[in-house]
Amino acid sequence: MSRSLPRPLRWGVVSTSAPAAGTSHIADAAPESLCAREPHVPADRLVAEMVPPPRFQTARFETYVPDERQPSQAEAVRVLSGFAAGLGGAHAVGTKRRFFGRKPAAPQGPRGIYLDGGYGVGKTHLLASLWHATPAAPEHKAFGTFVELTNLVGALGFQQTVRTLSEHRLLCIDEFELDDPGDTVLVSTLLGKLVEAGVALAATSNTLPGKLGEGRFAAADFLREIQGLSAHFRALRIDGEDYRHRGLPEAPAPYSDEQVAKAAYATEGASLDDFPRLLEHLAKVHPSRYGALTDGLTAVCLTGAEPVPDQSTALRLVVLADRLYDREVPVLASGVPFDRLFSEDMLKGGYRKKYFRAISRLTALARDAAPLVSERQ
C-alpha cells in the first residue's frame, strides 16, 4: 500500500453549519462548528495514514536542539541515530517467514527504544526523526499514537493487524499509556507478535514501561503483561524542561466572548463553538476520529471555557488537545485560563501527566492564536 507524507486530509467529514444572517460584511460565511461535524474514517486508510503528523513532517535529528544543560538530550539523538542506521538492510525475519514457512526464533534482548521523560522535552520530535531517518520506504514503517494503534486493531481485527504490521521495518508509537487492563493485554500480545516477526519498535511516554498503568487500574493484577511490554524496550531517559515555554512570555489571558466570535468570523477556515457543548459532542465521537474532526481548520475558537466536570470528559479533551497540537491549529478561547481546566484532584491523580501535557500544548496553541485578535481588532 503506497503512502504519501503527511498532508491535510478530507476524511468524509459531515458538517451542517450554515452562514449566519447579517455576517457577510465580516466574512464570506459563518465559521465552522466542531459540534456539527460527524467524521467517518474508512478502515482501509488507517494504516496508509500512519505517518508523522503535519507538525513533525520536517522533524529531523539535525533540527532537534538539545538543551546544553541536559546531556541526556544529546545522548538520545546519538542513540536513536544509531538505532535508525541499524534498521537498514533486508527485513530478514519477515523474509524467512515468507519463503520457508517456519516460525523464526524470537530476537534476543530488547527490540525497541522507549523514550521516557516529562512533557515538552521533544520526545515526539525525536520519534518522528527516527521514522524519517529509518532507511525504508514510507509504506514499510508506521507512526501513530497509542489510541490510533488500538483503534487499528478494532477496525482490522487482531490477526489482520498483525499480518499488516509484520511487513513493516519499524513501528513508532507516540503517547504510549495504558488506561485499562484490556489495552494492557491487547498491546502486550500485539507487540510480542510484531517483535517475533522482526519489527523494530519505538515509543514515547511520560511513564517508564515497567510503571505503565500505575495509579490508573490494578496494575499488580496485570504485572506479567506489563513486564512483557517492558522487555521489548530499552528505556532511554530524556531530562529537561518544557521547550514550549522555555524563555517565552506567559500565555495570553482568555479573551471576551465578543473578541473570540469576531476573530472566528474574520478568520477563513476557523471554527466557533461553545466549550461545554463541545465537550458534550466529544462524548459522541470516538477519540480515534478527533484528528478527522479538526480536518481543514485554520483555528479553533471556543467561548465559555470552564473546568471539565469529570475524568472521562477530561481525558477526551486531552486527546483533542493532542490532535490540535499535532496539526498546529491555534486555539482562541474565552472563559477560564487553560491551566484551570483540570481540578486539583485530577492534577494529583494517575492521569496527571496527561493533563499537564494538555495544559502545555493548549497554552502553546493559545500563544499561536493571539495574532487572530491583535491583527483583526
Query: Which of 241, 275, 296 is the last residue in one of the domains?
Result: 241
The mean pLDDT of 21-37, rounded to a whole number, is 69
Kindly state whether residues 228 and 270 are assigned to the same domain. no
Kindly state whether residues 165 and 273 are assigned to the same domain. no
DSSP SS3 for 309 = coil
The mean pLDDT of 148-170, rounded to a whole number, is 91
Query: Which of 211, 241, 271 is the last residue in one of the domains?
Result: 241
Q: Strands 200-205 and 112-116: what pairing?
A: parallel
The mean pLDDT of 46-58, rounded to a whole number, is 88
Q: Which of 98-102, 154-158, 240-244 has the lowest mean pLDDT?
A: 98-102
The answer to the question of residue 340 being in a domain is yes
Q: To which H or E segment does residue 203 belong?
A: strand 200-205
Half-sphere CA count of 292, side-chain side, radius 13 A: 21
- Residue 30 is placed in which grid cell? 459563518
Q: How far apart are CA 175 and CA 203, in angstroms?
A: 7
- Against a cut of 0.85, is the pTM above it? no
Tell me 103's DSSP state. P
Q: Which string of DSSP letters, residue by residue, matches 314-349?
A: HHHHHHHHHHHHHTT--EEEEES-GGGSS-HHHHHS
Kindly state whether residues 311 and 354 are assigned to the same domain. yes
Tell me 310's DSSP state. S
CB 216 within 8 A of CB 186: no
Q: Strands 200-205 and 233-237: what pairing?
A: unpaired
Pseudo-torsion of CA 160, 162, 163, 165, nearest 10°?
110
Supply the pLDDT for residue 186.
85
Task: Between 374 and 56, name the one with better pLDDT.
Answer: 56
Polymer length of the chain = 377
Query: Which of 241, 259, 285 is the last residue in one of the domains?
Result: 241
The answer to the question of residue 22 being in a domain is no
> Could you tell me the CATH number of the domain that includes residue 232?
3.40.50.300
Task: Between 15 and 266, name the one with better pLDDT.
Answer: 266
Task: Between 189 and 5, name the one with better pLDDT.
Answer: 189
- What is the percent of the chain where pLDDT is above 70? 75
In order of 202, 258, 329, 350, the CA distances from 320 in angstroms are 23, 24, 11, 19
- What is the percent of the chain where pLDDT is above 90? 49
Domain, as residue range, for 232:
44-241
Supply the pLDDT for residue 48.
82
The answer to the question of residue 113 being in a domain is yes
The mean pLDDT of 310-336, rounded to a whole number, is 95
> Could you tell me the CATH number of the domain that includes residue 349?
3.30.750
The answer to the question of residue 296 being in a domain is yes
Supply the pLDDT for residue 90.
55
Supply the pLDDT for residue 179.
60
CB 269 within 8 A of CB 297: yes
Q: How far apart are CA 164 and CA 327, in angstroms?
A: 26
Q: Which string of DSSP letters, residue by residue, matches 210-232?
A: GGTTTTTS-GGGGHHHHHHHHHT
Supply the pLDDT for residue 96.
40
The mean pLDDT of 355-368, rounded to a whole number, is 91
Q: How far apart are CA 303 and CA 275, in angstroms?
A: 6
Q: How confident is the model at residue 206 (pLDDT cuts 50, 70, 90)?
A: low
DSSP SS3 for 291 = helix
Supply the pLDDT for residue 2.
41
Kindly state whether residues 122 and 199 are assigned to the same domain. yes
Supply the pLDDT for residue 89.
59
